[in-house]
Amino acid sequence: MLIRKITEAEKTDFAVMTTYAFKDWKDEPPKEEMIEALSADQTFAVFDNGRMVAGLINHDMKQVVRGVIKSMSGIGCVSCYPEYRGKGLVWQLMQVAFKEMMAKSQPLSMLRPFKQSFYDKFNYVETGYKQRITYPMSAIAHYLENLNLKEWEFQRFDAGSNWDEFLEVADELALKQYHGYVLFSSISEGRLKRFFKDSIVVIVRHEGKAVGSFRYYKKGFGTDGVISIADWFYSDAYSRSAIFHYLALHRDQCGKFRLPVPGDAPFYTWFKDADTNPEATLTCSPWMVRVMDIPVALEGLPATDSGEITIKVTDPTCDWNNGAYLLVSDGETLSAESVSTSADCHLTIEGLSTLVYGSMNIEELVARKWLFTESVRTKQLLTSWFPMMSIYNICEF
């Protein structure tokens, strides 16, 4: 068996394999857009006597983590033909991917699991679902009032051919608005074309300044018609209200709208007088995350409570993470460096990954035996530096 990156000519074979793994099988070649979306230099495969039998993609991405942009490995399209399963090929692929993450300075990794327990073996931890709500148009009819249209402008265009300005506005607002969000500007043009196909983009301006943007799909007409928001960004309550005003203008065309929201979003306060029952759905599996390079992952994260602690980390899969680290907050941001002194607490890599992404509190980490400490001050600092946060990411990979 040989593991290596694929060539441009082998992208079709990889697309066929992922089609078998994740889609309805058809006796026809994969669509050109699927092949174009692949980046050969980010794709590994296992070959048996020249035949591709398993593979994965290590997407090179940028992610907003607690208001800081971090390089991130997005693991996707993990595939293996059935006659080669149970032979440890995916385990070998993941080890190769982990080493490349370190070589490419990707301190964090995220994936969408087909089965959570499978990726437990690689020390990934659950961090949150993608949530989508559906409401009737009647629930936003009140936004048609009290908006001074002389101050607001809505610029609508086809996302499939004109996305530069949308990405610029989205990157700026996502940095302030969302945690865990993968920046679309960091992915390849081929993937952007596939993501943005058949969608529409609106830039929201207030007195000439871009203060919001959203991308949506429009399907059907009348009571069966749906405006489905793919992603949206706003700078404050006023720009959010302006977005709902624009959506409400479709009340005679579409009966309802769908909207992705973070798990902690108080969306029930945004809508009123719904004439049919709203719905909320979660994806079938949560995002799973992992810290790959401790000092780089922690460097620059916000930490307003001044102080320092030394943590000892154990990582059974990536041994370069094993050891003690001094964490210091200057009252604004965090720094981390490897040290050889005794530690104030012991964290498993699962515990540290959970802290970085904010998916559990300290008590939960102790209960799971991911954190060991008797120090009250250590717990206070960890709670202050790593408050719980709801992850929001709509970029599938």
Q: Which residues pair with 43 in a beta bridge?
A: 57
Residues written for the chain: 397
* Predicted pLDDT of residue 76: 96
* Predicted pLDDT of residue 123: 98
Answer yes or no: are the C-beta atoms of 260 and 131 closer than 8 Å: yes
Per domain, the residue ranges of the chain are: 2-112, 131-282, 287-385
What class does CATH assign to 287-385?
A: alpha beta
* Predicted pLDDT of residue 327: 98
Q: How far apart are CA 215 and CA 196, in angstroms?
A: 8
Q: Which two three-digit tokens encode residue 294?
A: 């401790």
- The model carries a pTM of 0.93
Q: How many helices (H) and strands (E) does the chain have?
A: 11, 19
Whose tokens are 């990411």? That residue is 393
CATH of 2-112, one of 3.20.20.70, 3.30.750.24, 3.40.630.30, 1.10.275.10: 3.40.630.30
* Tens digit of pLDDT at every position of the chain (397 positions): 999 999 999 999 999 999 999 999 988 999 999 999 999 999 999 999 999 999 999 999 999 999 999 999 999 999 999 999 999 999 999 999 999 999 999 999 999 999 999 999 999 999 988 899 999 999 999 999 878 888 999 999 988 777 888 999 999 999 999 999 999 889 888 888 888 889 999 999 999 999 999 999 999 999 899 999 999 999 999 999 999 999 999 999 999 999 999 988 999 999 999 888 899 998 778 999 999 999 999 999 999 999 999 999 999 999 999 999 999 999 999 999 999 999 999 999 999 999 999 999 999 999 999 999 999 999 999 999 999 999 999 888 8
CATH of 131-282, one of 3.40.630.30, 3.30.465.10, 3.40.50.1460, 3.40.50.880: 3.40.630.30
* Predicted pLDDT of residue 188: 85
C-alpha torsion sign, points 97, 98, 103, 107: positive
* Predicted pLDDT of residue 149: 83
Answer yes or no: are the C-beta atoms of 298 and 329 closer than 8 Å: no
Alpha carbon separation from 392 to 62, 183, 197, 365 (Å, rounded): 14, 11, 22, 22
> 2-112 with 131-282: one CATH topology?
yes
* Predicted pLDDT of residue 26: 87
